[in-house]
Amino acid sequence: MSKALIIVDVQNDFCPGGALATERGAEVAALISEFVENYHDRYQAIVAAQDWHIDPGTHFSDNPDYQDSWPPHCRAESKGAELHPELDTDYIEAYFRKGAYAPAYSAFEGLLAPEYTVMPGEREAGAPVEDAGEQTPLDAWLSEREITDIDVVGIATDFCVKATAMDAVDAGYETRVLLDLTAPVSEDSLDDTVDELEDAGVTVIQVL
């Protein structure tokens, strides 16, 4: 067994004070950091996914329905797209960015971020976003490392975490969601989200 940890969208815009905040975002960022510090040796790879929107079309709306359309968030190379400061990145090996020109929820829609790109939050206002060229998809990157099992944590439980876990199962990985290391958009929908995940073959556990 070779296991990877996928940290999904622990970004400023999804934490308190951000454009599309979850209530527990910052708390979960800190909990993930503590978990990784204690258990990083259980994983052969630790990666992070980021929303990274350039022109995602109808994903952004001035009148969002909060299901298929949302207020603008996580614009590429902006401070809102930056990983939250409570998330310790020391053990993160690679970053996968998704949603540049279309809606994207799953980390498996993400592409490997090249090392030379501008750091989030450092782009001058009005400057063009760099074209990163051809990049490696997450599934190919994991396959190269012979990963068989995946744990998923991050934001938001009922959207991008769920989508990532379901795609992991579909791709043939043994998949777990570490529920207490995730933050939902809606606490009211959490039981339904867990049911959906388990019905799809995802194991949902508490680790704290």
Single out the catalytic residue among 51, 74, 151, 160: 160
Which token pair is 128? 């063009």
Q: Which DSSP category does 159 fall into?
A: I
- Is-contact 204 175, C-beta < 8 A? no
Which token pair is 66? 């909060």
Single out the catalytic residue among 51, 98, 139, 167: 98
Residue 170: which H helix or E strand, with range? helix 162-170
Backbone angles phi, psi at 104, to 5 degrees: -150, 125
Q: Would residue 160 show up in a list of annotated catalytic residues for this protein?
A: yes
* Longest Cα separation, the chain: 47
Q: Would residue 9 show up in a list of annotated catalytic residues for this protein?
A: yes
- Is-contact 158 185, C-beta < 8 A? yes
Which token pair is 102? 């279309």
Going 140 to 152 to 108 to 88, the CA torsion angle's sign is: negative
Residues that are catalytic: 9, 98, 160
